[in-house]
Amino acid sequence: MSSRGRKAYKDDTDTLYLECTSCHSIKPSHSFPKEKTGFLGKRFNCFDCKNTVNEEYRKKQAKAKYS
The pLDDT assigned to 9 comes to 92
Contacts of 63 (CB under 8 A, 6+ apart): none
Within 10 A of 43 (CB to CB), how many other CB atoms are there? 18
The pLDDT assigned to 62 comes to 92
The pLDDT assigned to 2 comes to 57
Question: In angstroms, rounded to a whole number, what is the distance separating the alpha carbons of residues 8 and 28?
Answer: 10
Domains of the chain (ranges; CATH) run 8-66 (3.30.60)
The pLDDT assigned to 1 comes to 58
pLDDT tens over the chain, length 67 residues: 555 678 899 999 999 999 999 999 999 999 999 999 999 999 999 999 999 999 999 999 999 888 7
pTM: 0.78
